Structure 1
C-alpha cells in the first residue's frame, strides 16, 4: 500500500492507494471486479489507525466493579534494558496516538513484556487484580464448530482482520482511571480498550454483532476482530463484500489489509483451512503438535491438551486416546 499525507482543514488525513500486487502476493489473485470495489473503500483500510479517539458508541467498554472492593495498586515490575527501551518507545507512540494519557489514579496495574516468535517484544498490562474484582460479562463467545456447516456450502471467501480491534473501542467515560498502568516512566490510563481486561472479548463480540446485524449467519461469521464473508458465487460475493465494507465505513472501523484475504477459494481461519466444502486442520498446527517437546510439568500438559482438544473433531476416538493425559491432569489439580 502507498499513502500520502494530505491536509483537510486543520486535520491531517492519510490518502490510501492500494497496492494489489502486495495483497495478491500474500493471499492470492483477486478478481478485477473485487479490486474495483476495494478501491471504493480505501478509507476502510488505512496504513495506521487515525490519530484520534474512536467515536463514542453505546457499547463503550464499561468496567463495573464488585461493590465494596478497593482499587488494586501494584508496583512496577523490574525490566531489562531492552524492555525499558521498548517501553519508552511504545508509551511515546501511544501518547502521540491518543490511546493513553498521563494518569493520577488510585489504581495501578504493572506492565510486562513477552518475546514474540520473531524476537520482538509484546507489551502486556497485568490486570489480574482488577479483573478479580470486575463484575463479569457472561456474553457468549461463538463456538468455531457452529460455523462449519455454513462455510462448507460456500465457494468464495473474504477474511477481514480489523487493525488493533480493541483500540477501536473507547473506554466508557469515567472508567478510564481504572485502566491505569504504572511504569518506570510514570502512570498512564487508557482511553481505548486495553488488552487484558476481563470483559474486553465480550464487549468486542457485542459490538461486532451490532455492526454486522442482518449479515451474521447469512453470509458472515465473526470471531472477535476476524470477519469472514462467504458466498456461493462471485457475483454474490461482490455484493456481500460491498455491504460489509459499507457497514465498517459507517461505524468508523478499520481493517489491516496485510492480514486480509479477498475473494479466495481457500482461506485460513482460526487454525483451520477452509476450501470449497472441506474444512481441515492448518498444516502448521499439525506440525506444531508433531514437534511438541516432551511434557515436563502440569503447565506443559495443560497447554498441549488445550491445543489438541481444539482439533478433537478431526481425531477418531479422541477421548479414548487422550484419557491417560486428562486423568493425570485431574489428579494434579485435585
Structure 2
C-alpha cells in the first residue's frame, strides 16, 4: 500500500478501466495525489522552477529523496522489531489489524507532507535521515528503571553524575543542566530531533565531542548529544554498548563485565532500593544452633564457645582462597581416567543424591563435562553421619606426587617436645603455625589442644578459635571434646597417666581369626605394628610371622606361627600405659644388654595435663 501510493506519481496505471465513472475516479485520485506530493516538496535552492526544461529532473530528485526516506523508515522499523505494514510489534504469529492500510497511509502522508511556509517542517526537512531516527527510551526520559537498564554513579569533568545505561536508547545523551556545568559544548552542524519511544520528540542542537567521563575508575571518551533530561545526568546508549562489546551483563544483579585496556573489568551498578517492609524473598530454612548446655561444660567454657558460634556452623559454600590452594598436576601425556559408578543400595543412592543437591546449591561442586570420571563412596563417620568420598585411586596413579613428609604418630605422644620437623599439612600449618608444638598439635584435620591448668586451657582454646575464625575454617561440634583429662586421639587414649591403646580398636584383636593367607596376615601385622611400642620385644615375638612374608617363602601355618600369633594378641589386649615424658625435669637412662642385643630407655616423672 505504501509503495503503491508513493510511486503513483511516476508509474503508469496498467489496470484496465471497467467503466467511465470508475476510470474518472481512478484518474482523478492518481493525479490529485501526484499534485499533492509535487506541490508539497519544496524546490532545491538555486533551481529555476519556471524553466520548462527542469520539471523532469526535479521529479527524479523528489522520487530519490522519497525512496531514501522510505528506506530509512523500513530500517528503523526493522531495528525496532516492528511490522513493516502496521508498525506494531512483530512476532511469528503477528497479524496486522484491519485498519492497517489507513494507518500506513497516514504515516506515509505525514512523512512526506511538508509545508513550504512552516519553519518547524522545514527544520525537519533539513535533517539527515540517520539523525531523524535517533531514539531515547521512555525510561530515560521519565526517570524509570526497567529490566534492561542499569544505574551507575560516575564523574564528568569533576562533576558527580547519575548515569543510566540504557539499551533502549540509540546514542549517548547528556542532560542540558549538566551541560551548563561542563566545557566543550558546541552546536551541531544540523539540528536534529530525537524520537522518544512513546511517540514524542525532543529537539537537540548541541553536543560534546569525545567527552571524558569516568565510571568505577575507568576512563571513557564518548560523543554526547545534549537533551533536556530531568532525571538522569547521562544516558549511555547502544553506541557505547556496541563499542565495548562483547560483554557479560547480569541485568538482575545490575553488573556488567566489559573489555577494557586488553583486560576485563567488572562494573557494579546501583541496586534498586526497596521501601521499608518490602518482601524480597520468602524461603524456609533450618538453622541448627549448637546446644552447648547439654554437653555438661563449665559455664566459662560455654560462654567462650558461644562467642565463636560461627566456627561451628555447617559449611554452606567454598572456603576462601588460601596460600595453599589445592591443585592436581598430571604427569605429561596422561590420558583421562573414566571409571563407571559403583552399585549402591537404594538408601545409599538417596543419601548421595541429597548430598550432591546440597553441594550444588552451596557452590561446592558444579556441573561438569570433564573427560575424567571417578566413582563415589560413602563412609560412616564417628557420629554415624555419612562422609561423601570419591575413589581417586586411578587418578592418583597419573598424578605428580607432592613431596610432603607424613607425620610420625609416636611424636604426638610427647607433644610438648619442641624443634621437631614440621609434619602437618600445609593448610593447617599456615593457620595454626603460631601455636604449633606450644599448646597445639595437628594431624591433618585433627586438632589437639593441651594445657597444664584450666585457666591456661580456656586461653588456649580462645587463641585457636580466633585463628580458625580468621581463616574461615568450620568445626563439627558433635566430634569435639573439651576440658577433659582423657581423650581418644589417633587410636590412642591420652590422659594424665600417659598413652594407652584405644579399647574400641583393640577389641577386634580378641576375636581375630587365624590368618589363612598372606593378605590376612599382612592385615593383622599392620594393626599390631601400629601399636608396636606397647608390646615389649615386638620384633622377637613377630619374627616367625614376618618370615612367612619373605619373598619366595611358602605360606605354611605351623604351631610356631600360631604361638607367635596368640602371643601378639595377648600382648595387645593387655598393653600397658606408656608414660608421657616431661622435658622440664632431668632424665635418667637405663640400659640392658644380652647375648643377642642391647637396649636403653629414658625415664622421667609424670605430671597431669588437661587435653
TM-score norm. by structure 2 comes to 0.41
Consecutive unaligned residues of structure 1, counting only runs of 5 or more, are 1-8, 25-29, 153-201
* 8 Å CA contact retained: 1:63, 1:134: yes
TM-aligned CA deviation for residue 99 of structure 1: 2.3
Distance (whole Å) between structure 1 residues aligned to residue 527 and residue 489 of structure 2: 15
Partner of 1:252: 472
* 8 Å CA contact retained: 1:151, 1:277: no
TM-aligned CA deviation for residue 310 of structure 1: 0.8
State the Cα RMSD in Å: 3.3
Partner of 1:23: 295
TM-aligned CA deviation for residue 98 of structure 1: 2.4
TM-aligned CA deviation for residue 323 of structure 1: 1.6
Partner of 1:175: none
How many residues in Structure 1 have an aligned counterpart in Structure 2?
A: 271
> Once the two structures are superposed, what CA deviation does each residue of 1:170-229 show, in whole Å capped at 9, x if it has no partner?
xxxxxxxxxxxxxxxxxxxxxxxxxxxxxxxx9981100110011111000011111000
Partner of 1:42: 309
Partner of 1:185: none
Change (3 A) 1:233 1:10: farther
Change (3 A) 1:113 1:274: closer
> Once the two structures are superposed, what CA deviation does each residue of 1:237-276 show, in whole Å capped at 9, x if it has no partner?
1111110000000000011111111111111111111111
1:95 correspondence with 2:360: yes
TM-aligned CA deviation for residue 325 of structure 1: 1.9
Select the structure of larger CA radius of gyration.
Answer: 2
Aligned counterpart in structure 2 of residue 314 of structure 1, from 512, 521, 534: 534
Partner of 1:304: 524
Aligned counterpart in structure 1 of residue 494 of structure 2, from 255, 274, 279: 274
* 8 Å CA contact retained: 1:23, 1:258: no
Distance (whole Å) between structure 2 residues aligned to residue 131 and residue 316 of structure 1: 38
1:127 correspondence with 2:392: yes
Distance (whole Å) between structure 2 residues aligned to residue 297 and residue 112 of structure 1: 27
Distance (whole Å) between structure 2 residues aligned to residue 239 and residue 307 of structure 1: 37
Distance (whole Å) between structure 2 residues aligned to residue 20 and residue 333 of structure 1: 58
1:140 correspondence with 2:405: yes
Change (3 A) 1:297 1:18: same
* 8 Å CA contact retained: 1:109, 1:126: yes
* 8 Å CA contact retained: 2:407, 2:423: no
Distance (whole Å) between structure 1 residues aligned to residue 286 and residue 380 of structure 2: 32
TM-aligned CA deviation for residue 13 of structure 1: 9.4
* 8 Å CA contact retained: 2:431, 2:467: yes
1:285 correspondence with 2:505: yes
Change (3 A) 1:292 1:60: same
* 8 Å CA contact retained: 2:405, 2:423: no
Distance (whole Å) between structure 1 residues aligned to residue 331 and residue 319 of structure 2: 28
Distance (whole Å) between structure 1 residues aligned to residue 383 and residue 476 of structure 2: 19
Change (3 A) 1:100 1:297: farther
> Once the two structures are superposed, what CA deviation does each residue of 1:114-133 show, in whole Å capped at 9, x if it has no partner?
68899987654221221011
* 8 Å CA contact retained: 1:220, 1:229: yes
TM-score norm. by structure 1 comes to 0.71
* 8 Å CA contact retained: 1:59, 1:203: no
Change (3 A) 1:76 1:32: closer
* 8 Å CA contact retained: 1:298, 1:332: no
Distance (whole Å) between structure 2 residues aligned to residue 37 and residue 118 of structure 1: 24
1:243 correspondence with 2:463: yes
* 8 Å CA contact retained: 2:378, 2:388: yes
Distance (whole Å) between structure 2 residues aligned to residue 86 and residue 151 of structure 1: 42
Partner of 1:205: 425
TM-aligned CA deviation for residue 82 of structure 1: 4.3
